[in-house]
A and B are shown apart, each in its own frame.
Chain A
Amino acid sequence: IQMTQSPSSLSASVGDRVTITCQASQAITNYLNWYQQTPGRAPRLLVYHASNLETGVPSRFSGGGSGTQFTFTISGLQPEDFGTYYCQQCESLPYTFGQGTKVEI
């Protein structure tokens, strides 16, 4: 299953609302996860099963969507939110990731 993210990069200001979209090449039953990756650090799971916030993740992060179209939103961008965000499907093997969206503050 091919995952296509957009945009590939964006620049936003502190406090902005940021939305990233992820399109799957075929319908997936919400086995869709979102990760943040910053240089030199381990990738961090933020949202799983399309809309479930991982424990300890701030509530400004959220996910939604179904079928082939999914969204990830940061409501009130913070300076520590810079990095690259990836969607990933666990619907079927091989597990695949989107190409990433680089968020610059």
Chain B
Amino acid sequence: QVHLEESGPGLVKPSETLSLTCTVSGASITSHYWSWIRLSPGKGLEWIGYLYYSGVTDYNPSLKSRVTISVDTSKNQFSLNLDSVTAADTAVYYCARLNYVGSLRFDYWGQGTLVTVSS
């Protein structure tokens, strides 16, 4: 069974960088695409971006200037960095697998981790 688990600080100060890691088990990070998605009261669910293990990435234009998604194949992990955060970045952050076999869909998700931006 594929399992994803997010980890990282639950509190980040304004203007600093939000950093989260997703650890994948039950599947190789070298298969499929891997994404970050967030849920906030004001914006609902928002796709942040995706990564393929080769380094191919794509980001939501609304966040593109501040986002970096990277991979560590040796640890079967991928990570999210979001720069210059504000209170608007307070959200539950999910990592998810983007399955492209037959169709495109997010078929496995982590439990989510709440990140609060506050001084």
Does A associate with B in a complex?
yes
**Which residues in A have some Cβ–Cβ distance to B below 8 Å?**
30-31, 33, 35, 37, 40-45, 48-49, 52, 54, 86, 88, 90, 93-100
How far is the CB of A91 from the nearest CB of chain B, in Å? 9
Task: Check if A97 sits within 8 Å of B112, measured CB to CB.
Answer: no
A43 to B110, CA, bound (A): 8
Write out the residue numbers on chain A whose beta carbons fall within 8 Å of the beta carbon of B96.
43
CB-contact partner of B107 in A41, A54, A95, under 8 A: A54
Write out the residue numbers on chain A whose beta carbons fall within 8 Å of the beta carbon of B13.
none
CB-contact partner of A97 in B47, B103, B105, under 8 A: B47
Interface residues on B, range: 20 to 34
How far is the CB of B40 from the nearest CB of chain A, in Å? 12
A99 to B104, CA, bound (A): 20
Write out the residue numbers on chain A whose beta carbons fall within 8 Å of the beta carbon of B58.
93
Q: List the count of A-B residue pairs having beta carbons below 8 Å apart.
A: 57
Write out the residue numbers on chain B whose beta carbons fall within 8 Å of the beta carbon of A88.
45, 106
Write out the residue numbers on chain B whose beta carbons fall within 8 Å of the beta carbon of A45.
105-107
A48 to B99, CA, bound (A): 11
The list of the 7 closest CB pairs from A to B, nearest first, reads A90-B104, A49-B103, A97-B45, A48-B105, A42-B109, A95-B47, A94-B60
**Closest residue of chain A to B44, judged by CB?**
A99
Task: Check if B107 sits within 8 Å of A97, measured CB to CB.
Answer: no
A11 to B8, CA, bound (A): 36
- What are 16 sample pairs from A and B whose C-beta atoms fall under 8 A apart? A31-B104, A33-B104, A35-B106, A42-B94, A43-B94, A45-B105, A45-B106, A45-B107, A49-B103, A49-B105, A54-B105, A88-B106, A90-B103, A94-B60, A97-B47, A100-B45
